[in-house]
A and B are shown apart, each in its own frame.
Chain A
Amino acid sequence: MEVLNAIFVLPFVDMFSEPIFFAEVVVGGLLTGVMYSLVALGFVLIFKASGVFNFAQGAMVLFAALTLVGLMEKGVPVWLALIIAAGVMVIVAVIIEKLVLRPLVNQPDIILFMATIGITFFLEGFGETVWGSDIHRLDVGIPDAPFEIGGMLLNEFDIWAAAIGAAMVGGLALFFRYTVIGRALRAVADDHQAALSVGIPLKTIWIVVWSVAGFVGLVAGIMWGTKSGVQFSLSLIALKALPVLILGGFTSIPGAIVGGLIIGVGEKVAEIYWGPLIGGAIENWFAYMLALVFLLFRPQGLFGEKIIERV
C-alpha cells in the first residue's frame, strides 16, 4: 500500500502543492528537449535524403564543437572560428560522401548503419587526437544571466537556445519546401533511382545534406558545449537523440521536435518525482525505456508513415 502510494499518489501531490517548482521542472525539461531535438534534426535530415541511419550524428556534434572550441583556444576570434568550423564540417561531409557513401551505394541499410558506427569512432578518435580530451569551456558570447518570470527562475541562455532551435527548424522547413535543392532532396528521399533518372545529381545532394547536418551538429554542439563544456560525454548525450527519433519517426522533422520535447520533459519529471524512489540517475535510461515501450504500440513513431509490407 505504501509503495503504491509512493508511486502513484505522492509524486502528483508534490506537483500540485508546488506548481511553480513543477513548472520550472517542465520548462527545464523542454529546454533540454530542444537540445535533443537539434541533434535529432541532423539524423532526420540525413535519413530523409539518403536513407542512411547516421549513427555518427552525435560524433559530428562532438567533432564540430571540439573544432570550434579548439580554434577559439588558439586565439581565433569567434566569428572566424565559426566559419572555419562550418567549413570543416563541409569538408567532413565531402570526405564521407567520397570515401564511405559512394562505395556503399545500393548496399543494405544495415551495412551503411555499421559504416556510420565506424565514422563515429573515427571522428571521436580524430577529434580527441587533434584537440585533446580535456573538458573545454565554450563561450561564444550568448548571454547567460538568470531572470524571473511569474516566480520561475529561468536562464537567458536557455531562452536563446530555444529561440535558435526554433529558428533552425523553421528555416529548414522553408528550405525543404521552397527551394530547388529542397525539392530535389524530397525527391531523393522518396526514391534514389527515380531521382537520378530525372537528372538530380545524387552526389551533390548527399554532400549538401551531410553538410547541412554538419551545421546543425555545430549549432547543437555550441548549445551543449556552452551548457556543460565540450567533452567526450557529448557524444553519449547525443545518443539520446535516438530514442527521440523513435518517438518522432525517422522521417519527420516535426517529429524530431516533438519527440525531443517529450523525452526532455519526460526524463526530467521522472527523475525529479520518481527517481528518488528507485535510487536516482534514471535519466541514463529513461528515454530509451520510454522509446522501447512506445515502439511496442506504435512502431512507426508519432509522425512516421505507416509501414505497409508487400510481397
Chain B
Amino acid sequence: MLYRESGQYKTNYADDQAIFPLKQDRWLMAIALVVAFVVIPLTSSEYMLQAVIIPFLIFALAAIGLNLLAGYCGQISLGTGGFMAVGAYAAYKLATSFPDLNMIVVFLLSGVVAAFVGIMFGIPSLRIKGFYLAVATLAAQFFLQWLFNKVAWFYNYNPSGTITAPPREMFGFMITGPAATAEARYMITLVVVVVLALVAKNLTRGHIGRSWMAIRDMDIAAEIIGIRPLHAKLSAFAISSFYCGVAGALFVFTWLGSVETEAFAITVSFQVLFMVIIGGLGSILGSFIGAAFITAVPILLTNAPQFFGFNMPIDLQKHFEVMIFGVLIIFFVIVEPHGLARLWQIAKEKLRLWPFPY
C-alpha cells in the first residue's frame, strides 16, 4: 500500500527516464538528504562523525569507483588502494605547491591524476580478462605503494615519510588541517560525495554506462554491435580511478589528516571490494549500503563483547573480524550475488502489495 506506482502515469519518455521515476523514491531521497545535510551535523558528536560517518562517506565514494569498474564494466580490480594513494599524494602535492588553489579544485584535479594512472594500468585489460586482470591490477597496488614510499619528492622530503593535510579554508571555514572541525570536514566530504554519486548514477544510465554493461555481459557481442572495447574499458578504468583518487584525497584531507603509504595497503583494496560485493555489484545505492555495512561490522565487534559482559583481546578481535568478513563474503556470493541492494529491491517489490499480497 505504501509503495505503489499505480496512478503515477508517465506521459513522456523524459519522465520515464528520471532517476527516481516513483514519487515514493523521491520522498525517500529527499528525507535522506535532509538527514545528511541538516540532522546529522546538528546532532552527531565529534566522535561519531570522525570515527563512523566520514569514513563511511569516503569508502562509499571509493566503492562507487570500484563498482563502476567491476560491477558495471566487469573488470575486477585489486588495485583500489593504489589508485586511492595516487589521489591522496596528488592532492598533497597540489595543495602544498599551490596554496591558493581552491580545495574542491584540488580534489577534482587529484582525481584526474588518478584517472590517468588508472588508464595506464587499464591497458592490459584490452588483452586479458577476469582473474588475469585481477592479478595485473595487483601490479598497480604494489608498485604504486612502493613508489610513494620510496620517492621522497611525493612527500616533500618529510623525514617521517608521512603526508599531512595543510590547513585550508573555504567560505571562511577551516575545512582541512588540525583546526578544522569535524562538522566542516563532514560537510565538505558530504557535498563531494553526493555530487559525485549523482554523476555516477547519470553516467551509468547514459550510453557510456550501457557500453560498460555490454562489455561486462558479453564483450564479443558488444564489439560486434560497434562498441569499442578500448574505449569502454579504458573509460571505465579512468572514471573508476577518478572516484578512487578523489576518495583517497578526502581520506587524507578530511578524515585522517596525516597518513603513510601503509594506509593504502592491499587490505584497503580488499575492504572496498567487499563493500562492492556485499552492497551489490552494479548498483550505486549498493555501494553506500556496502560501505555502511563494512564500516559498521568492526564497530559492532568492538562493542558487542563488552555489551555481553566479556572482554576480547584486541588482536583476537581483529582476527575475528577478518574471519567474519570471510564468512560474509562467502554467504553473500552464494545467497545473493547482487548484494544488499538487491534485497532492498525485493523488499520494495514486497511493499508494493503489502499488506494484501494477493
Direct contact of A and B (CB under 8 A): yes
Contacts of A292 in B (CB 8 A): 124, 136, 139
B100 within 8 Å of A by Cβ?
no
Given contacts A239-B138, A291-B139, A292-B139, contact A128 B329 (CB under 8 A): no
| A109, A119, A295: most-surrounded residue (chain B CB, <10 A) | A295
- Report the stretch among B178-186, B242-250, B330-338 that lies at the interface: B330-338
Q: Which 6 A-B pairs rank lowest in CB-CB distance, beginning with the nearest?
A: A125-B323, A122-B326, A121-B326, A118-B329, A125-B322, A288-B139
Q: List 25 A-B contacts (CB under 8 A).
A: A100-B330, A104-B333, A114-B329, A118-B328, A119-B330, A121-B325, A124-B322, A124-B323, A125-B324, A126-B326, A129-B316, A129-B320, A245-B135, A281-B146, A281-B149, A281-B150, A284-B142, A285-B145, A289-B143, A292-B124, A292-B139, A295-B124, A295-B127, A295-B128, A311-B224
Closest A residue by C-beta to B334: A103
Interface of B is mostly: helix
Contacts of A152 in B (CB 8 A): none
Q: Which of A235-251 contact B (CB under 8 A)?
A: 236, 239, 242-243, 245-246
A280 within 8 Å of B by Cβ?
yes
Closest B residue by C-beta to A118: B329
Q: Which of A242-297 contact B (CB under 8 A)?
A: 242-243, 245-246, 278-282, 284-285, 288-289, 291-292, 295-296
A72 within 8 Å of B by Cβ?
no
| Bound Cα distance A133, B322 (Å) | 13
Residues of B within 8 A of A (CB): 74, 76, 123-124, 127-128, 130-132, 134-136, 138-139, 142-143, 145-146, 149-151, 220-221, 224, 266, 270, 273, 277, 315-316, 319-330, 333-334, 337
Contacts of B330 in A (CB 8 A): 99-100, 115, 118-119, 122
Contacts of A115 in B (CB 8 A): 329-330, 333-334
Inter-chain contact A114/B277, CB cutoff 8 Å: yes
| Bound Cα distance A74, B65 (Å) | 47
Inter-chain contact B143/A288, CB cutoff 8 Å: yes
Inter-chain contact A288/B138, CB cutoff 8 Å: yes
Interface of A is mostly: helix
Sample of 19 more A-B contacts, CB < 8 Å, known A110-B131, A114-B333: A104-B333, A115-B334, A117-B329, A118-B325, A118-B330, A121-B323, A121-B325, A121-B329, A124-B323, A243-B135, A246-B132, A279-B151, A282-B146, A284-B142, A289-B139, A295-B136, A296-B123, A299-B132, A311-B221
**Shortest distance from the beta carbon of A117 to any chain B beta carbon, whole Å:** 6
Given contacts A118-B327, A118-B330, A285-B142, contact A299 B128 (CB under 8 A): yes
Contact of A295 among B132, B146, B337 (CB under 8 A): B132
Contacts of A289 in B (CB 8 A): 139, 143
| Bound Cα distance A124, B270 (Å) | 14
| Bound Cα distance A99, B333 (Å) | 12
| Bound Cα distance A117, B328 (Å) | 11
The contact size tier of chain A is 35 or more
**Shortest distance from the beta carbon of A66 to any chain B beta carbon, whole Å:** 11
Contacts of A291 in B (CB 8 A): 135-136, 139
Closest B residue by C-beta to A280: B150
| Bound Cα distance A280, B315 (Å) | 31
Q: Which of A72-125 contact B (CB under 8 A)?
A: 99-100, 103-104, 107, 109-111, 113-115, 117-125
**Shortest distance from the beta carbon of A129 to any chain B beta carbon, whole Å:** 4
| Bound Cα distance A288, B136 (Å) | 7
Inter-chain contact A113/B139, CB cutoff 8 Å: no
